[in-house]
Structure 1
Amino acid sequence: MSAHESMEHAEHAEHASGENKKIALLIAVIALCLALSETLGKGAQTESISKNVEASNLWAFFQAKSIRRTSVQTAAEQGKLNLATTTDEAAKAALQKQIDDWQKTAARYRSEPETGEGSEQLSERAKHAEHERDEATAKYHHFELASAAFQIA
């Protein structure tokens, strides 16, 4: 091989080496994007599961409060029926006080803004948790699609 051919061969190798470096850099950037997409996707998936559990717990608490409220309202209604047939004034007064307490308790079970544990507040909190769950699930699916695109690239 002549000196001229050797020089030309070296120039081609140098040129190919520069292209290989660019390709390697591109692959590294795509791999970085894939890693970020996978990490963010797993985070969104974890948040979705967490919000689903939170919503389920809040709906269970809501149901428990509704059952308690119904029981107390039923007791108050039964007390009203008994009040009509009671003739002793002291017994009537005691029964009326108990009925009033039951009605206050039923109202508290329906709405308790101080603690956020009335059935109305629990319902709102559960709906909010469901909304956050749905958003996190959508994010997760988008990150999964992005991961697939980076893997194809």
Structure 2
Amino acid sequence: MALLIGILAAGLAICEMGEKSAQNDYIAKQIAVNDTWSFYQAKAIKADIATAQAQVLKALSSNSADPALATAARAAEARAQHETSDPDGGEGKAQLKAQAEHQTEARDHQLERYHQLEVVVGLLQIAIVLASVSVVTEVAAFGLVAVLLGGLSFLGGVVVMAFI
């Protein structure tokens, strides 16, 4: 039974490393999502400012004979369009939104992995307790349940770490 407890503890340690790794990946991906959405918001503000600037310059140019105002209005419109969509640079609002949504999916996947491994770790801890109870009470059924629960939990953890 001591060997079983040792094996379960080793499995627990492996699954806890996977759990911690998934948690760290989730946090890193959350930071990336936050950064991308912040960049998106900055682009939105810049686009709105450029649009407002273009509207003001257009209004001024309609009352003035100065061609520089019309040129400045067109430049502001071009800036607003560039901030809204920049397919070449990938840093327009539209591209940043798509990137943030993709990052959100990846982040949510890591959160799912973390929660699954959290359950595996909890079940392995219960299996260790049951094995210990089996030693103290000399009831073999606790040991059998510990073997089944621990084995299935560890296999589940391996599947989550390797394939999910």
Q: Same fold (TM over 0.5)?
A: yes
TM-score by length of 2: 0.73
Q: State the shift of 1:61 in Å.
A: 0.8
**1:73 corresponds to:** 51
Q: State the shift of 1:129 in Å.
A: 1.4
What does the per-residue CA deviation read over 1:26-58, in whole Å, with 9 as the maximum and x for residues that have no partner? 333322221111000000101111111111111
3-state DSSP class of the match of 1:60?
Answer: helix
**2:7 corresponds to:** 29
Greater Rg by CA: 1
Runs of 4+ in 1 over 3 A off after TM superposition: none
Matched, 1:148 2:126: no
Counterpart CA distance in 1 for 2:50 and 2:81 is 10
Matched, 1:98 2:76: no
**2:89 corresponds to:** 115
**1:137 corresponds to:** 111
Q: Which residues of structure 1 form unaligned runs of 5+? A: 1-22
Q: What's the % identity of the aligned pairs?
A: 32
Aligned residues: 127
CA RMSD of aligned residues (A): 1.2
Counterpart CA distance in 1 for 2:71 and 2:82 is 16
What does the per-residue CA deviation read over 1:12-31, in whole Å, with 9 as the maximum and x for residues that have no partner? xxxxxxxxxxx344333322
Counterpart CA distance in 2 for 1:125 and 1:25 is 49
Among 26, 37, 40, the residue aligned to 1:48: 26
Q: Which of 1 and 2 has higher RCO (CA within 8 Å, sep 6+)?
A: 1
Q: Which residues of structure 2 form unaligned runs of 5+? A: 128-164
TM-score by length of 1: 0.78
